[in-house]
Amino acid sequence: MKRMKWAIPVLLLLFGSQAVLQTKIDPFWKKYYAPPKLSVPGLGAEQVLVALSGFREVLAGIMWVRADEFFHQGNYDAILPLVRLVTLLDSKQIDVYVTGAWHMGYNFTDEDQRSDRRYLVPALQLLREGVNNNQNTYELWFELGWMKYHKIMDYKGAVEAFEKAKNFEDIPLARRDILAHAYYKNGQISDALNYLYELLDMNQKILDDYPGNESARIGRDTVEKNLDQHIIRMAARGYFAKQRGDYGPAGHYTTLPPLEQMDFGARITVTEPGVIRVVGTLGLAPIGARVRIVLKDQSYDLHLAENEKLPFSPELPKDVTYMQDDLYNKKKRFARTINMSKDPAMYPFDAEKYDIVFSWSPRWAPASIQDRLGWNGEAMDDKRYLNIPKDDPSLRQILCTLTITKDQILQRGEWRDKKVVVETPGFVEVQEEAPKYRVVPNTPGTPGPAKST
């Protein structure tokens, strides 16, 4: 009984202490760990019921294990509803946002491993939701930037996301470097230079404080090498001379004389229903240039920048056709056969008309081509297809659009059993050169080719 007399006050004291402590914990938990208000587009009633029940984080963990099983089975379609449900149950599951967006951005492909670009909108929406629900870490800002940098080539959006990520203390030093490359790709050459100096100082400071830090030493040496290369390229391409106002022929810069005609042209031939043969020209001799081709419903546009701000939903516009590929340019010629007949779910061809959009930008190009044309295409021109975007007047790129109908691409109606050809005005195909062989004559004592008898 004596013990019971002591136990009751102790329990009361503990409960009181817990209540006081909970008032301190709750604001912190609500700020960093509490799930958001439920938004349930694309979920069934039974899934919403689970989301509203208790043990949300436990259920989220179990479901994510199940989603991982689907991934290893190659059943990607089954993953997205689970991704939606897990993030509703536990909005602090950063890996779910990252992995879910990666599935949508990279794993949904056709028979020739072309990504289903329709999934880019929900991928960006999921990452944006993750950013909003996890504002105490760099990770989702970084992943959002990487998706835009690597998959979409939206370098302006990538710069904005990477700049957000670098302001967090938890970002590893090695991941800060990507912002410099995004500056290059977005034509922000001076910003790249200044940021490389900032990274160099950052690595050197760590090395001064911790002389044995091998990671900091490697980081410093890498940034120093990148900085040297960047300065050399700025000088060789006449960047500093242009800033001084004395850029001209006397400087012997790699971007002189300007390339006045890019000689772009393309021809589309429908060889079978849903199969096209693409041939074309781009007046760049160095290997490495890739011409982008998009075939899409004429009335459809991804509008990635606008749509990523909408709530995430795994639902897709199933009736839309959107194909994108890169065409390798070699010796001023590109050619490829693109077969869309094997993937009717990805290429339903429900619309009546389609745009075939060709584009090429120096910002996508390797350094060897940029040495000739500049980061932004300053040293290039084209009488027919030069395009300067209104929102980015420093960029000079190639842009051309052709139109083809549903009946033409499927060889139906009046086009049945007919050859369908759509091409740019004045297109002249450059014939591919036959391989050349050097004949080495036999010398006495050297075995020659076998002779038939």
**Are 86 and 93 within 8 A, CB to CB?**
yes
Looking at per-residue pLDDT, the higher value among 371 and 55 belongs to 371
DSSP summary character for residue 363: G
The CA distance from 434 to 61, in Å, is: 59
187: left (phi over 0), alpha (psi -120 to 50) or beta: left
pLDDT at 40 (0 to 100): 44
400 strand-pairing partners: 358
Alpha helices in 272-366 (DSSP H): 304-307
The CA distance from 103 to 76, in Å, is: 7
Question: Quick check: 426 pLDDT over 50?
Answer: yes
**Pairing relation of β-strands 265-272 and 420-423?**
antiparallel
Residues whose CB is less than 8 angstroms from the CB of residue 258 and which lie 6 or more positions away in sequence, other chains included: 379, 380, 381
In angstroms, the Cα distances linking 125 to 91, 168, 262 are 14, 22, 37
Specify the length of the chain in residues.
453
Q: Where are the beta strands (DSSP E) in 246-298?
A: 265-272, 275-281, 290-297
Question: Quick check: 178 pLDDT over 60?
Answer: yes
Alpha helices in 311-450 (DSSP H): 367-373, 406-409
pLDDT at 90 (0 to 100): 85
pLDDT at 448 (0 to 100): 47
pLDDT at 25 (0 to 100): 47
In angstroms, the Cα distances linking 434 to 374, 431, 437 are 32, 9, 10
Q: Which two tokens stand for residue 403?
A: 């139109």
Looking at per-residue pLDDT, the higher value among 269 and 8 belongs to 269
Task: Determine the 3-state secondary structure of 311 from DSSP.
Answer: coil
Highest average pLDDT, of 51-60, 300-309, 327-336, comes from 327-336
Best CA proximity match to 335, nearest among 285, 400, 269: 269
Task: Indicate the pTM of the whole model.
Answer: 0.81
Tell me the per-residue pLDDT of 181-206, one tens digit each, with 9 for 90 and over: 999 999 999 999 999 999 999 999 99
Tell me the per-residue pLDDT of 132-159, one tens digit each, with 9 for 90 and over: 999 999 999 999 999 999 999 999 999 9
pLDDT at 110 (0 to 100): 92
88 HSE (CA, 13 A, CB side):
24
295 strand-pairing partners: 323, 356
Cβ-count burial of 183 within 10 angstroms (0-12 exposed, 13-18 middle, 19+ buried)?
buried
* Mean pLDDT score, 385-395: 94
